[in-house]
Amino acid sequence: MLLDNQLQIYWLADANLAASNNFGVSGINANGSMSWDTAQNFVTAMNNYNSGAGYLGINHWRQAQVTPLNGSSYSTGPTTYDGSSDQGYQISAAVDAVYNPFGQSSGSINSELAFNYYNNLGAIGACNGSATSLNSCVSHTVYGIDDASNAANLTLFNNLQNSVYWSGSELGSNSNNAFRFANMLGLQDTANKMANYFVMPVADVDWGNYSRPITDPTVPLPASAWLFASALAALSLLPRQNKQRSR
């Protein structure tokens, strides 16, 4: 497991566990992709594993979540290119003169998958602009996790797909659509729950179970810290490396 001390969650280091262990859940494809409802069943099976002790000793796994950027309701109109809505590019991405000049949600933690892509991995979004006005799109040799700048963090994950991942967040109560994030583009939008995408389970940090006291869990811990929960070591993700790259 990998400790993300900004989001205060564990990322499962195997970013496509379902391809090798389906926990007896039906409907999972051989490559690890599945529908949204199947993904919910998969996470439930992880939590029920080992008579309820949970996979790796954790029984509160969940799908990565999306909460509204504006703090109240989702904005999923036309695609935006500056991280200003819940449907678009550059959500959480740092302001960058070349790749994100109009950044509107720098460092936002409202989308855990977007935060991981743009901040932990230092990946670039395929397109940028101002609100719904497209400014420019970059070469395919620049965007996507396969070209992420923070290789040190990227290598901490196994089987991370340069493809689409489900979030656990529905567009609305009983909606047929849920949020997804495309690791090959840096794009967040929604899709029908019947579509088949990958799943990247996360677990909220149980600060009360550490073997040494944590005085204030809201303060980010040093990137080099080794922490232990349920006797399991968790490497902290390193901060993003801020460096320019040529087109």
Q: What is the pLDDT of residue 216?
A: 34
Residue 237 has a pLDDT of 64
**Going by C-beta distance under 8 Å and a sequence separation of 6 or more, which residues neighbour residue 223?**
5, 236, 237, 238, 239
Distance CA 4, CA 2 (A): 6
Tell me how far apart the terminal alpha carbons of the chain are, to the nearest angstrom.
34
Nearest alpha-carbon partner for 189 in 171, 175, 168, 176? 171
Between CA 132 and CA 128 the distance in angstroms is 9
Three-state secondary structure string covering 105-149? CCCCCCEHHHHHHHHHCCCCCCEEEECCEEEEECCCCCCCHHHCC
Any long-range contacts for 223-226 (C-beta under 8 Å, 24+ apart)?
Answer: 223/5, 225/3, 225/5
Each residue's pLDDT, cut to its tens digit, for the chain (247 residues) gives: 999 989 999 999 999 999 999 999 999 999 999 999 999 999 999 999 999 999 999 999 999 999 999 999 999 999 999 999 999 999 999 999 999 999 999 999 999 999 999 999 999 999 999 999 999 999 999 999 999 999 899 999 999 999 999 999 999 877 999 999 999 999 999 999 999 999 999 999 976 654 333 333 333 333 333 332 222 334 556 544 443 433 3
Q: Is the dihedral of CA 115, 117, 118, 119 positive or negative?
A: positive
For residue 233, what pLDDT is reported? Answer: 38
Dump the DSSP string for 168-195: EEESSTT-SEEEEEETTTTEEEEEETTS
Residue 207: the pLDDT is 66
